[in-house]
């Protein structure tokens, strides 16, 4: 026997993005009848896998504006909560062995063109005016990018980097935070304002005068009647859209990470999130290379792999996190399995990412021969569009909305995504770039040029 619940706005998905949408509906628009529906504990699916890094550096201006808005909103929350969300801002250090960096400088000038003096070059060993990355205080941190082009300076600031590094681009409005803490702040604040939770799996959605959402709970079926519905279902966003009669242009790609105790102190604790941006050939012995080349499933490891291997010290102890988003093959998660049990896990990933990361931090190579004893290999799905922009806005003309496809940036972008979603739902004023993030962008041929301008998707 089914029971019935009524609400003004039903949000499907209580990951960080659904929670943030509820937060801005309640905070900005004083909505007092919001129901968050999820079959799991809040923030326990993709959100729980996040490395919780943030940045305003992107190959596209639209994404830079979007994440800058999100960082502004996170800073607001950090101020209001005495930094309960543990925001830190050491920056991102992008390292390259390339001598000619004119193309990178061009794209940075594009990215940071709105304000003066945001791209600063340092060519001498004693760069005056260069703020070191050792303070992690977000409130006094600077914006823009410092380009370190002197090998002695690089050695002083980033002593663990390979001596082959010619330039480091130090992106300053970037760092890390706790998305779980941020979500907790939001949940605490919206509860007294009328936001409730329902635990169960959405099985079907019918649309008459209202939306009738069929939810399977442990106590039986619940029929939720809602005037408006928001699809914030993470990797299942296309499945929920299908129930609403809309096909979404998204795919799911499994990406893995490795966290481990750096017992050899290979990475300095004050090193910022560091990324090797060069295409990387892995080091193998001749024998290993020959064996790999003969295996059809492994031969790709003998060829250079796209750049983007990253490394960051985590917390106060000795742990570090490594990642490399090299997978390009889409797959679909099974809703009945946990992420820890996903068939897309590659048992060779820890060795691959360690070999890759050792090209920038050579001391990590010692772990290839003797894998760290304390390690966690984990992963989750990046739900993405072709151009790696999210989809936020109306799903159709009748009160259904989507906030999804947040790829590998959904935690840093959650505040802006939730705020824009609330603007759409309540008909509030939206920033200009909001239209580029809605589904309407696919109907505008002029936008196709902007979206396809570069092969660089800003994927990490």
Contacts with ligand FAD by CB under 6 A lie at: 12-18, 37-40, 45-47, 49-54, 201-202, 232-236, 255, 257, 379-382, 404, 406-412
- Closer to ligand FAD by Cβ: residue 13 or 313: 13
State in angstroms the smallest separation of the CB of 243 from ligand FAD: 8
Q: Where are the alpha helices (DSSP H) in 245-303?
A: 286-294
**What six digits make up the tokens of 346?**
């590659």
Q: Which of 247, 280, 370, 375 is nearest to 321 (CA)?
A: 375
- Closer to ligand FAD by Cβ: residue 153 or 187: 187
β-strand pairing of 92-96 with 53-55: unpaired
State in angstroms the smallest separation of the CB of 331 from ligand FAD: 13
State in angstroms the smallest separation of the CB of 109 from ligand FAD: 25
- Closer to ligand FAD by Cβ: residue 14 or 95: 14
Cα separation, 250 vs 235, whole angstroms? 9
* 413, 365 Cβ separation under 8 angstroms: no
* 168, 148 Cβ separation under 8 angstroms: yes
- Closer to ligand FAD by Cβ: residue 118 or 411: 411
State in angstroms the smallest separation of the CB of 386 from ligand FAD: 17
- Closer to ligand FAD by Cβ: residue 16 or 153: 16
Q: Which residues lie closer than 8 Å to 109 by C-beta, 6 or more apart?
A: 119
The dihedral sign for the CA sequence 207, 209, 211, 214:
negative
State in angstroms the smallest separation of the CB of 181 from ligand FAD: 14
* 85, 181 Cβ separation under 8 angstroms: yes
State in angstroms the smallest separation of the CB of 70 from ligand FAD: 9
State in angstroms the smallest separation of the CB of 385 from ligand FAD: 13
Helix (H) or strand (E) holding 211: strand 211-217
Q: How many helices (H) and strands (E) does the chain have?
A: 13, 19
- Closer to ligand FAD by Cβ: residue 14 or 118: 14
Q: Exposure string (b/e) for 398-407, b if CB count within 10 Å is 16 or more? A: ebbbbbbbbb
State in angstroms the smallest separation of the CB of 460 from ligand FAD: 8
State in angstroms the smallest separation of the CB of 152 from ligand FAD: 32
- Closer to ligand FAD by Cβ: residue 50 or 361: 50
Longest dimension (CA), the chain: 75
Sheet (strand 119-122) strand order: 119-122, 145-148, 167-171, 92-96, 273-276, 309-313, 319-323, 251-261, 375-384
């Amino acid at each position: 026997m089914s029971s019935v619940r009524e609400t003004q706005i039903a949000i499907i998905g209580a990951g960080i993005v659904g929670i943030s949408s509820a937060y801005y509906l309640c905070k900005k628009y004083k909505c007092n009848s919001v129901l968050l529906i999820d079959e799991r504990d809040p923030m326990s699916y993709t959100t729980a896998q996040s490395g919780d890094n943030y940045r305003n550096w992107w190959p596209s201006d639209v994404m830079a504006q979007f994440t800058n808005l999100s960082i502004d909103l996170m800073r607001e929350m950090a101020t209001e909560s005495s930094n309960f969300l543990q925001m830190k801002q050491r920056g991102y250090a992008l390292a390259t062995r390339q001598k000619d960096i004119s193309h990178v400088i061009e794209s940075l000038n594009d990215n940071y063109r709105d304000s003066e003096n945001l791209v600063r070059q340092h060519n001498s060993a004693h760069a005056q005016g260069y703020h070191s990355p050792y303070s992690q205080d977000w409130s006094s941190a600077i914006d823009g990018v410092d380009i370190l082009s002197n090998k002695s300076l690089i050695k002083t600031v980033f002593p663990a980097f390979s001596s082959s590094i010619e330039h480091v681009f130090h992106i300053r409005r970037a760092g890390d935070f706790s998305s779980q803490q941020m979500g907790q702040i939001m949940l605490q604040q919206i509860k007294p304002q009328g936001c409730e939770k329902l635990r169960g799996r959405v099985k079907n959605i019918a649309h008459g005068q209202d939306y009738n959402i069929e939810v399977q709970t442990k106590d039986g079926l619940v029929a939720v009647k809602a005037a408006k519905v928001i699809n914030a279902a993470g990797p299942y966003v296309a499945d929920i859209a299908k129930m609403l009669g809309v096909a979404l242009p998204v795919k799911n790609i499994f990406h893995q990470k490795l966290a481990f105790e750096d017992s050899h102190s290979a990475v300095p604790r004050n090193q910022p999130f560091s990324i090797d941006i060069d295409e990387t050939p892995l080091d193998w012995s001749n024998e290993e290379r020959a064996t790999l080349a003969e295996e059809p499933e492994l031969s790709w490891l003998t060829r250079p792999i796209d750049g983007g291997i990253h490394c960051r010290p985590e917390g106060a102890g000795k742990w570090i996190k490594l990642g490399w988003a090299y997978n390009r093959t889409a797959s679909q998660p099974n809703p009945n399995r946990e992420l820890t049990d996903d068939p897309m896990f590659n048992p060779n990933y820890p060795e691959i990412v360690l070999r890759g990361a050792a090209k920038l931090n050579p001391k990590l190579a010692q772990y290839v021969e003797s894998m760290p004893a304390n390690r966690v290999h984990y992963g989750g799905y990046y739900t993405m569009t072709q151009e790696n922009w999210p989809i936020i806005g109306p799903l159709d003309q009748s009160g259904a909305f989507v906030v999804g496809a947040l790829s590998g940036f959904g935690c840093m972008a959650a505040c802006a995504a939730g705020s824009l979603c609330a603007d759409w739902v309540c008909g509030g004023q939206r920033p200009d770039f909001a239209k580029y993030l809605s589904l309407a962008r696919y109907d505008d041929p002029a936008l196709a040029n902007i979206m396809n301008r570069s092969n660089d998707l800003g994927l990490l």
